[in-house]
Amino acid sequence: MNYQEALALTKKYGQEHLLRYYDELSSEEQISLLKEIEALDFSLLSILHSESASSGRGFFEPLGALTVQEISEKRIEYERAGLEVLNREKAAAVLLAGGMGTRLGFDKPKGMYNIGETHDLYIFECLINNLLDVVRVTGHYMYLLIMTSELNHEDTVRFFEEKEYFGYDPDYIRFFVQDTAPCVGYDGKILMEGKGRIAVSPNGNGGWFHSLVKAGLYPLLQEHGVEYLSVFGVDNVCQRINDPAFVGAMKLSGCDVCAKVVQKADPNERVGVLCLEDGRPSIVEYYEMTDDMIHLRDAGGNLLYNYGVILNYLFRLDRLTEIANNRLPLHIVEKKIPFIDDSGILQKPESPNGYKFEYLVLDMIHLLESCLPYEVIREKEFAPIKNRTGIDSVESARTLLKENGVSL
């Protein structure tokens, strides 16, 4: 794209300020800015003038889960079915590690955080250890595709290399970079973080499948006949990934996706709850629930909207492929975004000054016909690290890791 084309394009969307400092840039910087403009998805901006993506929800109904009790009664059958999949290397996993981890306040990729007390134990290492538990049982590795962002890609890849992949077979590991989206001020103008650089941020954890395909990794899954693809977040150091019973329950259910869920700690817990929306599986956010929904109970006194998602899903790859071109709702999130002001000086705001755009993995569930909620025991499989201290923190995760026999 040349300057004239970029000017026409930016003018069309009222964003010609992106070229304001063009004449002051070196020729290399000019080329790079034109490339950035060419790569921008300007259509995202239209959402600012339309209804919020998450508004206009349908009719919600509760959805029960395959309970811990039911799973334990059928464990042998589930494990047998799961091992049959895992032994043929028909399952793979995607680690979502493209987030900014702002709440943790750590300036490197979140997975590089060392939660050890008497010896090193990194978040990435915990996840690999959990995967290796499955490898030990099956004697087979599964492909692990790690999604990074432009901001943390190099650090992440170098860290895995330095740590020799924590004992995982590197032939079964691939990295890919997630897409970005422009950051926008409250006035709808795209922000610049330098005279020749547009402010962009990772476009949320829902863009993973698109980014995986763009990175050319889809043929790898196809060539190896992968049938089941799990997706999990970087935060939860206790989660089991593609454990045989989970994979087996998924296979036997015939559902399009299987979601690990935990019972809510209390009715008002701030988690997304798996439910039905207009008869299809969906996730209702805690702030979207009415008081009635929050407190509704069955005859046995159990909450009806009771099963919170923990960002651990197992998808059927064929069904994912079918919905790959469906557009996910786009969420607008208010954030503090560094930007250059009218004098070209970089400002780091103390409070939110604009919007970022995010796709969310949970929205993929609603595109599918059927979902099996699979209950896991919170104390065994849910130790998210979002903050340094308090709820969902390094502290709370350390306690749970120790309770599960992990040496820190």
> Nearest distance from residue 100's CB to ligand UTP, in Å?
4
DSSP code, position 61:
E
Name residues whose C-beta falls within 8 Å of residue 229's C-beta, 6 or more positions apart in sequence. Answer: 91, 92, 93, 94, 221, 314, 315, 317, 320
Phi, psi (rounded to 5 degrees) for 322: -65, -35
> Nearest distance from residue 180's CB to ligand UTP, in Å?
9
Between 81 and 231, name the residue whose CB sits nearer to ligand UTP.
Answer: 231
Cα separation of 256 and 30, whole Å? 46
Show the beta-strand stretches assigned E in 278-365.
280-284, 307-316, 331-335, 339-340, 346-347, 354-358
Residue nearest to ligand UTP (CB): 99
Between 81 and 121, name the residue whose CB sits nearer to ligand UTP.
Answer: 121
Between 66 and 257, name the residue whose CB sits nearer to ligand UTP.
Answer: 257
> Nearest distance from residue 13's CB to ligand UTP, in Å?
23
Q: Give, in order, the Cα–Cα distances in Å from 220 to each of 144, 174, 212, 215, 223.
A: 11, 10, 11, 11, 5
Residues that bind ligand UTP (CB under 6 A): 96-103, 110, 147, 178, 202-205, 233-235, 311, 386
Looking at the DSSP bridge assignments, the partners of residue 263 are 307
Closest C-alpha to 253, from 89, 365, 373: 373
Between 74 and 103, name the residue whose CB sits nearer to ligand UTP.
Answer: 103
* Measured torsion, CA atoms of residues 232, 235, 238, 243, in degrees rounded to the nearest 10: 10
Q: Given its phi and psi angles, is residue 301 left (phi above 0), alpha (psi -120 to 50 degrees) or beta? A: left
Q: Give, in order, the Cα–Cα distances in Å from 370 to each of 233, 253, 258.
A: 22, 10, 9
Name residues whose C-beta falls within 8 Å of residue 203's C-beta, 6 or more positions apart in sequence. Answer: 178, 179, 180, 181, 357, 358, 359
> Nearest distance from residue 266's CB to ligand UTP, in Å?
21
Between 119 and 327, name the residue whose CB sits nearer to ligand UTP.
Answer: 327
Between 138 and 180, name the residue whose CB sits nearer to ligand UTP.
Answer: 180
> Nearest distance from residue 150's CB to ligand UTP, in Å?
11
Between 42 and 106, name the residue whose CB sits nearer to ligand UTP.
Answer: 106
> Nearest distance from residue 234's CB to ligand UTP, in Å?
4
Between 126 and 311, name the residue whose CB sits nearer to ligand UTP.
Answer: 311
> Nearest distance from residue 111's CB to ligand UTP, in Å?
8
Report strand pairing: 91-96 vs 144-148.
Answer: parallel
> Nearest distance from residue 245's CB to ligand UTP, in Å?
23
Closest C-alpha to 151, from 106, 189, 184, 121: 106
